[in-house]
Amino acid sequence: MTSAGLVDRYGRVATDLRVSLTDRCNLRCSYCMPPEGLPWLPNSDVLTDDEIIRLVRIAVERLGVREVRFTGGEPLIRPGLTKIVAASAELAPRPQLSLTTNGIGLDKLARSLRAAGLDRVNVSLDTLDADRFERLTHRRRLPDVLAGLVAAGATGLHPVKINSVLMRGVNDDEAPALLRFALAAGYELRFIEQMPLDAQHAWDRTKMITAAEILASLQAEFTLQADPAERGGAPAETWLVAGWTAPDGEPAKVGVIGSVTRPFCGDCDRTRLTADGQVRACLFATEESDLRGALRGGADDEEIARRWRAAMWTKRAGHGIDNPAFLQPARPMSAIGG
């Protein structure tokens, strides 16, 4: 095992850190949690702002992390979010900082987050229909999400990306409409295959809308060309949309993240930190490594870095979702972080 960055046994190097700031959320998306919500982590278990800042610093200064994305639950409900972003932006070398959010409240926070050093946002949006949005999320908040998207673009959080999950018989007819909306507004759209990360454990492989189905739906109305740019460790396969231009003058793109049917495990460059201080080497890992205990037990930075390296060394070759022996993680997406 190397004593440098976050290297695993297969030679992959983790340079992208996903940090969950809370397991709580103000929506109840059906593919994530039940309408009544979940038992949240006790406040004493959740990392403090200073503990998160310290772990991000160790990741950047000692472990070679170059990108940090803050997630949840819903990260915008974390009171110390702006403080955490600002402290992360002061690190050297400065990491790229992004946020994955449902967009509710972003219209009020976008300007202060941009001033603190946030570079860009990913906003979840699965439908443009207010009634469908309410059925999917159990909240009537579509106007708030759309306002958040507008605010993100206006304050320079570029590129503004949209994440969409299609579900059979629910919103699987909306792929072209979602792309048309994103292109017209200058957003980058990413479709994500529904993954087995729901708290209800009701995910069914046979009912999932596949990447191939998503592309077929888009190609019925748009001309797509394979993106010639190097994909690297990016989770999305991207296509250029003929006849459309992005705000920066480059060809407009649409992406599909086929985590289930087109896994990209061989190029994965991510490490994950849960809101209660557990390292997860993979989104679908069934084991975790505790850093919170080390933090609160007085461990120095090098000891924490050593534990983090050890956790990543055990990363598996792939998640194996399509394998009949696959076991869904005990934690749902809201408790892991996207």
pLDDT in tens, 291-319: 999 999 999 999 999 999 999 998 988 77
Predicted pLDDT of residue 2: 46
Q: What pLDDT, in 10s, does the model give residues 110-160?
A: 999 999 999 999 999 999 999 999 999 999 999 999 999 999 999 999 999
Mean pLDDT of the chain: 91
Task: Flag whether pLDDT at 203 surpasses 70.
Answer: no
pLDDT tens, residue by residue, 20-45: 999 999 988 887 777 777 778 999 99
d(CA 85, CA 319): 30
Alpha carbon distance 149, 144 (integer Å): 9
b/e map 140-179, b = 16+ CB within 10 Å: ebbebbbbbbebbbebebbbbbbbbbbbeebbeebbeebb
Question: What is d(CA 229, CA 50) in angstroms, rounded to the nearest whole number?
Answer: 38
Task: Give the three-class secondary structure for 295.
Answer: helix
Cα–Cα distance measured from residue 337 to residue 27, given in angstroms and rounded to the nearest whole number: 15
Arithmetic mean of pLDDT, 42-49: 96
pLDDT at 72: 93
Q: How many CB atoms lie within 10 A of CB 97?
A: 22
Q: Would the pLDDT of 278 be above 50?
A: yes
Angle at 61 between CA 55 and CA 67, to 5 degrees: 75
pTM here is: 0.92
Coil, helix or strand for 154?
helix
> Residues, the chain, total?
338
What's the rounded Cα separation, in Å, for the pair 208 and 93?
A: 41
pLDDT of residue 338 exceeding 70: no
Residue that the structure tokens 């979702």 belong to: 321
Q: Which pLDDT does position 38 carry in this prediction? A: 78
pLDDT at 104 over 50: yes
Could you report the per-residue pLDDT of 149-193, keeping only the tens digit for each? 999 999 999 999 999 999 999 999 999 999 999 999 999 999 999
